[in-house]
Structure 1
Amino acid sequence: MAENFWKDKYPVGIAAEIDPDLYPNIQAVLKQSCQRFADKPAFSSLGKTLTYGELYQLSGQFAAYLQQHTDLQPGDRIAVQLPNVLQYPVVVFGAMRAGLVVVNTNPLYTAREMEHQFNDSGAKALVSLANMAHLAEQVVPKTGIKTVIITEVGDMLSPFKRLLVNSVVKYVKKMVPAYNLPQAVKLNAALAQGRGHAVREANPVNGDVAVLQYTGGTTGVAKGAMLTHRNLIANMLQSRAMMASNMEEGAETVIAPLPLYHIYAFTFHCMAMMLIGNHNVLISNPRDLPAMLKDLRTYRFSGFVGLNTLFVALCNNPEFQKLDFSALKITLSGGMALQLATAERWKQVTGCAICEGYGLTETSPVASVNSVQNNQIGTIGIPVPSTLFKVIDDAGNDLPLGQVGELCIKGPQVMKGYWQRQEATDEVIDADGWFKSGDIAVIQDDGYTRIVDRKKDMILVSGFNVYPNELEDVLVTLPGVLQCAAIGVPDERSGEAIKIFVVAKPGVTLTKEQVMEHMRANVTGYKVPKAVEFRDTLPTTNVGKILRRELRDEELKKLAKA
């Protein structure tokens, strides 16, 4: 497909190209925004707001601490394991200003998952919430991490509120298991030690890695996608271009319920919204709808970023339906497929249409999005500026418009590659820079694209990638398991739910409770299966490979009959 095919597909007011080399690095964007929007609110959480000026000051204190009081050098990796609290942007931007590479880490990870990611990334430092510090205590000695910084939920609040919130979390809700990390430094102490010291501002080139974002990619083995400064700056500029006619710089308030450690929320809230000086309201736990609704009543919000599961939960809540949506002008959906019924219900409740987008960790992540001016529900929109799409057949041949094939993406936001995995990189990025997404799609004559299916066996639970290989590897460590398989089955709430099939060893009796207990102990909550079925045999190929697709087809047939 000719590159100029895309040039005339953008609505009036949206440029077809951006300049990914406009800024030398993320630090330059941050400095410009924090000066330009110094008095504007940047992030709010638990009733406290940081302005852009305060964000720059605090991130500078953290950067100075890292430079003055640790042995960390530019290029070293720092694992950041925090939920949506004010500490997150302070730590991330401070680490970047000190020249470190941020390794986003899910706070819900088990010790096994943490150990893999910390060792694979070669992390030398960890910033963790006290709630997870008992796991860090187990894991850190098995890694190369020497610097450990611990923070509590309320640490950015006023002294009285900090004491109140931290005491409730620790003693009333009992959410902070005992831990012993004698080498750990409290974040507030680190900020105090950095105060008054000048920061030696890092000045990486735009091809240097800024973030290692872990993903299972297309194989299920957790790999770090190397996202460079140029990748992330390109995605900031691409996002800004697509929203140019709908979002006023320095004037919007956007709700941020999705976790910042996930690439979708990270790029949108910490990168794109930072570029244009807008206000991000951090929701620390979107499952706590009463608390979230309190925030939604407090702020006159004009933007909302979510995914299908969350939209469904909110629209079914009577208190949400009573909110004032008069300022809401843009709602963005990504992370999982948006269902038509959900889009219609959201529009009915809020008066605002949902614009669905598409992306992957490997594309920083935004690859395409529906514009407000021309929103086609059921599609993932058009490629963002300076981005090309094509579909190919199994032999790698380009297919014409309207044909179904694997979606390939080319643009300045495509990752540098997988960290220390050249072979895996070569499997997904060809010599011309095309990234194979692993998704099956069709490109329409108007340039809008529909995702038809996933090529691989990946399961998508509420926007999070779950890989059957990992689940099966964990499950076979349970004594008595002979064979097993994990598949995704349709689920109204989460898009897909995990079902596992187990064949027990001869003479062994296993129970569902044993299986579930084993999985809960070894994988993050969203990876725990919802259903377990015991069988005598599983369908396999003639060389013994288990046919997950046959199992999925059986489940779909059962659902069709139900």
Structure 2
Amino acid sequence: MKALEERRKDLLARFPVWKKMTLYQGLASKAAEGPERVFLLEEGREFTYGEVLGEADRISAALWSMGLTKGGCVAVALSNRIEFVTVTFALAKAGAVKVPVNRNASLRELEYILEQTGARFLITERPVEAEDKSACPGLCHIICLDGTAGADGRYLSWEEFLEKGKAPVMEMPWPDADSISDIIYTSGSTGRPKGVMLSHDMLWRSAFASCVNRGYETGRRIYVPLPLFHVYGYVEGLLAAILVGGSILITRGKFDVKKALDAMERCGANDILSVPSIMMKLLQYPELGQYPLKELHAVYCSASICPRWVWKAIRERLRVQEVITGYGMTEVCGASMQTDPDDDDEVLAGRVGKILYGGPAGDERLNGNIIEYKVIDENGEELPLGGCGQLLCRGPIVTRGYYRDGEATALAVDQEGWLKTGDVGYFDEKGYLKFLGRCNDMYKINGENVSPQYLDKIISKCEHVVTVETVGVPDEKLGYIGAAFVDADNPDQETKESIVDYCKANLAPYQVPRYFFFTDSCTWPHTTTGKVQKFKLREIARKRMEEEDGQV
């Protein structure tokens, strides 16, 4: 394995000039270079670049024959499986827009997305229930991968659908790389979801910048236990792998540690994309030492607060040295900042990264970076380096806005193109971001500002704490009071008292949470990408507090 800087130079040399391309063109070019190269591994099966491209062609032909038009929206409610991948590139070829939907979304949520996007097609793996027959009246075609399709003419089984791809069709119009390829609805960690519009070119630029920072070698094999219907696994796993002729490993169903380790060992995984909750399960697995994982040399753990002990454990238990974390959001195609693979655990525990360099994929006006940030105060004035406030960003990977939601777009994006992230933090003298949480997560106690992110960092240093999430709950007398949800290693009374005493000794009096709820972190409300849903946690805290003292 070459050193990090050598790998970066090799990658940049292969892309001296940035050429815009659609998602389909990117896949087709790699398939032309090596059609027999393995692209995807799923449940012990291997699929080559040539096979995935061929199936994408067949699917696009079937959709086109059924009346799909350029720019039309297709809702895709699939888990991590080969069909999600082939459908993605089929839609890109047809110039259509993919609208990925959580396969476990409620019928009401699905109807909301379908109505707003005007999607006429739904590709799903969930069997169509009798009570759903009258739902989603605007849909013309519902294509079911699993289960029976039903007698209604709108419903087709996967086999029936693929048969339509055999009929000759008119030539499809070639889409533009700047056209919208995906409308990805935000995870709902802060409330009502909005449809984020992302283009082919934006996604490729973002993926390439991640490849550069992490020094992707040709043929990198990446394990992606994250849902591909969100940008993290989609961009930094699936699309990034294509850029280097690599492959991704996916496993179906709920994350299972043994199943994941067996698959990684079998395929010789080089890299893991994860969230803290998944990484902790891997590291705490009793039989982990029985898996050599000799090809593994990189780990990316991000999307939510990571307990400090995890970074050291990754290096010791997985024997990996290139470990990073990052910061981003759907609106910027995934990560906009990452730490360097050479950074030590102190950096990983205290910072979320620096702005990604994209080289040819970046903006010349930004010295090759793919995005720029500024920090503003409560009055909208830009703060100097080190100033703490709300983060704003703009650049070639930043969304144009929210689909058919002019009001939300106007509130988020100003006339100069600056997107309000809703996040709070500051940049240090080395350009690294200290992330302090969401604007609406910050709270005041008697006029004193409290950052849940800071509290979580301090509390997580206690030896008995596995992970912690702190929230502020409104209070008539103080404005807010803090509530800490703590997952402890041995939650007996002595341990609980020890954790509370630790907080009193290491936090200012006003920062010490009024309430401590000791529960298993698996029971906390999470999005599908592993982020804790703070707004739901606040509601749980409120109810628990009412039960305990009836004062809230």
Structure 1 SS opposite 2:306: coil
**2:138 paired residue number:** 144
- Equivalent-residue separation in structure 1 for 2:258 and 2:409 (angstroms): 44
1:289-319 CA distance string (max 9 Å, x none): 2322321231211010001111101111022
Tell me whether 1:379 sits opposite 2:373 in the alignment. no
In 2: Cα distance, 1:242 partner to 1:115 partner: 39
Does residue 315 (structure 1) correspond to residue 309 (structure 2)? The answer is: no
The structure 2 residue matched to 1:55, chosen from 52, 56, 61, is 52
Pairs within 5 Å for 1:25-104? 25-68=22-65, 70-104=66-100
CA deviations 1:248-287 (Å, max 9, x no partner) are 12x2211010111122111122322122221101121343
Letter of the aligned partner of 1:318 in structure 2?
Answer: P
Matched, 1:134 2:129: yes
Between the aligned partners of 1:261 and 1:91, the Cα distance in structure 2 is: 12
Contact 2:148–2:157 (8 Å) recurs in 1? no
| Aligned mates of 2:152, 2:284 — CA distance in 1 | 43
> Partners of 1:491 and 1:393 in 2: how far apart?
32
Helix, strand or coil: the match of 1:141? coil
CA contact (8 A) 2:56 2:90 kept: yes
Distance 2:162 2:102 in 1: 23
Distance 1:336 1:308 in 2: 7
Contact kept? 1:19, 1:234, Cα under 8 Å = no
- The one-letter amino acid paired with 1:414 is V
**CA distance 1:45–1:279, shift in 2 (3 Å):** same
C-alpha separation in 2, matches of 1:263 and 1:489: 29
CA-to-aligned-CA distance 1:390-448 (integer Å, 9 cap, x gap): 21111111111222111222221101100111221122222222222111111010111
| Distance of aligned partners of 1:266 and 1:320 in 2 relative to their CA distance in 1, 3 Å threshold | same
Quick one: percent identity of the two aligned structures? 23
Q: Relative to structure 1, is the Cα distance of residues 265 and 396 closer, same or farther in structure 2, using a 3 angstrom cutoff? A: same
Given the alignment, which residue of 255, 264, 267 partners 1:287? 255
The residue type equivalent to 1:90 in the other structure is T
The residue number in structure 2 matching 1:397 is 381
C-alpha contact (below 8 Å) 1:77/1:125 kept by paired residues: yes
Q: In structure 2, do the counterparts of structure 1 residues 286 and 296 end up closer, same or farther at CA, with 3 Å as the change threshold?
A: farther
AA in 2 matched with 1:109: A
- Amino acid in structure 2 at the alignment position of 1:128: T
Alignment partners' CA distance in 2, 1:383 and 1:151 = 40
Q: What one-letter code is carried by the residue in structure 2 that aligns with 1:384?
A: L
Equivalent residue of 1:414, what SS? coil
| Cα pair 1:77 1:121 within 8 Å, conserved | yes
Assess, with a 3 A threshold, how the Cα gap between structure 1 residues 20 and 264 changes in structure 2: closer, same or farther: farther
The structure-2 alpha-carbon separation of the partners of 1:196 and 1:216, relative to structure 1 and needing over 3 Å to count, comes to: closer
CA distance in 1, matches of 2:486, 2:166: 50
- Counterpart contact for 2:111–2:135, Cα < 8 Å: no
Counterpart contact for 2:94–2:174, Cα < 8 Å: no
Q: CA deviation at 1:121?
A: 1.6
Distance in 1 between residues matched to 2:76 and 2:111, nearest whole Å? 14
> Deviations 1:347-403 (Å, cap 9, x if unpaired)?
110121420011101011111111213453121111112221221111111111222
Worse overlay, 332-341 or 343-352: 332-341
Q: Which residue of 2 aligns with 1:241?
A: 212
Once residues 50 and 210 of structure 1 are traced to their aligned partners in structure 2, the CA distance between those partners, rounded to angstroms, is: 23
Structure 1 residues 324 and 216: CA distance shift in structure 2, 3 A: closer
Cα distance, 1:426–1:538 mapped onto 2, change above 3 Å: farther
Checking the alignment, whether the CA contact within 8 Å between 2:58 and 2:162 is kept in structure 1 is yes
Q: How far 1:183 moved relative to its partner?
A: 2.7
List structure 1 runs of 4+ shifted beyond 4 angstroms: 11-15, 18-21, 176-182, 196-199, 216-219, 457-460, 523-532, 536-539
Q: Using the alignment, how far apart are the partners of 1:199 and 1:374 within structure 2?
A: 53
Gaps of 5+ in 2: 1-6, 358-368, 443-451, 454-470, 472-479, 489-524
Conserved 8 A contact 1:285-1:292:
no
Aligned to 1:507: none
Show the counterpart of 1:447.
431
The Cα of 1:141 is off from its aligned counterpart by 3.1
Q: How many angstroms does 1:534 deviate by?
A: 7.1
Distance 1:26 1:38 in 2: 17
CA distance in 2, matches of 1:367, 1:538: 44
SS in structure 1 opposite 2:162?
Answer: helix
The SS at the match of 1:447 is coil
The alpha carbon displacement at 1:93 in A equals 1.0
Whose relative contact order is higher, 1 or 2, with alpha carbons under 8 Å and at least 6 apart? 1
Q: What is the count of residue pairs matched by the alignment?
A: 454
In structure 2, the residue matched to 1:114 is: 110
The letter for the 1-side match of 2:109 is E
Structure 1 position 240, deviation (Å): 2.2
Whole-Å Cα distance in 1 between the matches of residues 17 and 277 of structure 2? 33
Aligned partners of 2:163, 2:112: CA distance in 1, in Å?
32
Deviation at 1:538, TM superposition (A): 12
Pairwise CA distance, 1:59: 0.4
Q: 1:360 aligns with which of 305, 326, 329?
A: 329
| TM-score (norm. length: structure 2) | 0.74
**Number of the residue aligned with 2:191:** 220
Q: Scaled by the length of structure 1, what TM-score is found?
A: 0.73
Residue type at the aligned position of 2:181: A
Pair 1:213–1:275, CA change in 2 (3 A): same
Inter-CA distance 197–36: structure 2 relative to 1 (3 Å threshold): farther
**Superposition map of 1:172-251 within 5 A:** 182-195=153-166, 197=168, 200-215=171-186, 220-244=191-215, 247-249=216-218, 251=219
The answer as to whether partners of 1:59 and 1:93 remain within 8 angstroms in 2 is: yes
Residues 1:266 and 2:277 aligned together:
no
Structure 1, 405-414 or 308-317: larger mean CA deviation: 405-414
Q: How far has the Cα of 1:43 moved from its partner?
A: 1.0
The yes-or-no answer on 1:369 pairing with 2:338 is: yes
The answer on whether the counterparts of 1:111 and 1:139 sit within 8 Å (CA) in structure 2 is no
